[in-house]
Amino acid sequence: MPHLNIEYSANLAGAFDVPAALRHLNDAVIAGGLFEPSHIKSRAVMLEHFRVGAEDSGQAMIHVRIHALPGRTPEALRGLSTSVVAALQAVVKPVPGLTVQITAEVAEMDAGCYAKVIVGP
């Protein structure tokens, strides 16, 4: 735990280095000290169909949903979302004429409904 799910708009394809973003995100989460490093799972999905605001052009977005088991303070979770946004900002290259909105949210999972198994050594 946690699970980090990145969604990003397709118009960022050349400006968003996904492998670097995943490394930066994991590093930021590890640095926060809230989770065991080997428990962090992150992935990214490009959104071919998206819309930001009322206009079709000049806008892009990256959003991270962080799912974590309960037990952390609201301040710790706010720090986590803030550090994730900063980590993403560090890897997004500016694109002339394109504004990028980077957002993150933390959602606590119901521990009673979560299941996990590890297969292998």
Residue extents of the structural domains in the chain: 3-113
- Alpha helices (H) along the chain: 18-32, 74-89
Task: Answer for the pair 34, 74: CB distance below 8 angstroms, yes or no.
Answer: no
Average pLDDT (85-112) is 90
DSSP state of 100: E
Res 21: pLDDT: 94
Task: Answer for the pair 29, 35: CB distance below 8 angstroms, yes or no.
Answer: yes
Query: In percent, how much of the chain has pLDDT > 90?
Result: 68
Global pTM reads 0.89
Res 56: pLDDT: 67
Q: Given CA atoms 63, 102, 37, 42 in this order, what sign does their dihedral have?
A: positive
| Distinct helix (H) and strand (E) counts, the chain | 2, 4
CATH of 3-113, one of 3.40.50.12170, 3.30.420.40, 3.30.429.10, 3.40.605.10: 3.30.429.10
Tell me: pLDDT of 31 over 70.
Answer: yes
pLDDT digits (tens, 9 = 90+) for 46-68: 999 998 887 667 899 999 999 99
